[in-house]
Amino acid sequence: MIEEINELKKQKNAVILAHNYQIPDVQDIADYVGDSLGLSQQAAETDADTIIFCGVHFMAETASIISPHKTVLIPDLDAGCSLADSITADQLRAWKAENPEAVVVSYINTTAAIKAESDYCCTSSNAVQIVESIPEDKQVLFLPDKFLGTYVEMITGRDLNIWDGACHVHEKIGELNLGEKQKEYPDAEVLIHPECGCSTSCMMKSAMYFDCEEAHIHSTSGMLNQARESEAEEFVVATETGILHRMRKENPGKKFYPANEESVCEYMKMITLEKLHDSLKNNRFEVKVPEDMVEKARLPIERMLSIA
Ligand code: 13P
Ligand code: SF4
């Protein structure tokens, strides 16, 4: 199957992009594995005719918005995202109507319809930079992730209006998980994704449930960089467990422990080698954003890519 996938890829001039949470087999066959920012940059730069997106639906949609003349395929259309589902376009329109002067900053984990209603897009690796690029006197509506929003608020010292959304996997990675792991592995460095429930208490030093002085809060690729560059030999990793494959592969001498073994995104795991093969062979399932929406949704993504 691996040989056939590689053969089909050549025949169709296709590129396989995979998120850091994909199953090991899919990561290993991909041309590029990365975080949301890296994946959208790859989608913007590739000269392939077809992009096979091994990730979740909003990521394939973003690739289709950036490269509307390319064929973008996702191997399973049901690969969704609970965070992207935590706000609808109608809810955002109503929120904007209540705050007509505000600037809307949407996390990339949103549908194309939400992006089309936004001023800026951001990912977990550039959210701070994007908010800092907006004049301080402007009111900001930040959506949909409350933990990432609180993290940005604390780093920038800005007062944001934050939507009450969360990812069902990350919100469960709480302070108690991390406290237990720190007791078990006292020498380990702690790597935290800003979507985690524990990231907020880590930032609120006065309400500390665990010793977060040494915690590093990053996007998935930022966590991978930190694991590579750090002198530490052990790490507690607070995010979806799919990232551990690449961490272990890139750092054979180091040890990585999940903060919570049950942090598995069932949507990310829907993509298998069999479905990837089928997708390449039969050109399915195409993700195409309607033209009028592409125009509006591209602007906040382009603004983001030009800032960070
Ligand atoms: P990253 O952009 O950090 O890879 O995060 C994407 C995501 O869906 C996290 O759950
Ligand atoms: Fe969405 Fe959470 Fe899965 Fe990331 S881990 S894709 S935010 S549901």
Number of H helices, E strands in the chain: 14, 12
The reported pLDDT for the residue numbered 213 is 65
Angle at 246 between CA 213 and CA 167, to 5 degrees: 60
The reported pLDDT for the residue numbered 205 is 60
Q: Cis (ω within 30 of 0) for the bond into 194?
A: no
CA distance 44 to 68: 10
pTM of the model: 0.96
Q: Is 167 in the pocket of ligand 2 (CB under 6 A)?
A: yes
Domain positions in the chain: 2-81+268-289, 84-166, 169-258
Q: Is 177 in the pocket of ligand 1 (CB under 6 A)?
A: no
How much of the chain is helix, strand and coil, in % rounded to 5? 45, 15, 40
Q: Is 109 in the pocket of ligand 2 (CB under 6 A)?
A: yes
Structural contact between residues 140 and 134, judged by C-beta atoms closer than 8 angstroms = yes
Q: What are phi and psi of 55, to 5 degrees?
A: -170, -150
Residue 102 carries which DSSP code?
A: P
Rg (CA), the chain: 19
The reported pLDDT for the residue numbered 211 is 60
Q: Is 72 in the pocket of ligand 2 (CB under 6 A)?
A: no
Structural contact between residues 92 and 114, judged by C-beta atoms closer than 8 angstroms = yes
Q: Which ligand approaches the C-alpha of residue 169 most closely?
A: 2
Q: Can you tell me which atom of ligand 2 is nearest the CA of 266?
A: 3
Which residue in 188, 284, 193, 204 sits closest to 243, CA to CA?
A: 193
Query: Ligand 1 centre and the CA of 251: distance in Å?
Result: 21
Q: Is 124 in the pocket of ligand 1 (CB under 6 A)?
A: yes
Q: Is 220 in the pocket of ligand 1 (CB under 6 A)?
A: yes
Answer CATH for 169-258 from 3.90.420.10, 3.40.50.10800, 3.30.70.360, 3.90.1640.10 = 3.40.50.10800
Q: Residue with structure tokens 């993700």?
A: 287
Residue type, 47: D
Query: Ligand 2 centre and the CA of 81: distance in Å?
Result: 5
Q: Is 241 in the pocket of ligand 1 (CB under 6 A)?
A: no
User: Which residues have a Cβ under 8 Å from the Cβ of 188 and sit 6 or more positions away?
Assistant: 181, 182, 232, 234, 235, 236, 255, 257
Give the burial class of 200: count Cβ atoms within 10 A of its Cβ; 0-12 exposed, 13-18 middle, 19 or more buried.
buried
The residues that bridge with 73 in the sheet, in sequence order, are: 52, 286
Which residue in 307, 299, 305 sits closest to 41, CA to CA?
A: 305
User: What fold, for 2-81+268-289?
Assistant: Rossmann fold (3.40.50)
CA distance 304 to 125: 11
The reported pLDDT for the residue numbered 277 is 98
Regions of the chain with pLDDT less than 50: 208
Q: Which ligand approaches the C-alpha of residue 218 most closely?
A: 1
The reported pLDDT for the residue numbered 182 is 87
- To the question of domain 84-166 being in CATH 3.40.50.10800, the answer is yes
CA distance 54 to 22: 7
List pLDDT tens digits, range 36-68.
999 999 999 999 999 999 999 999 999 999 999
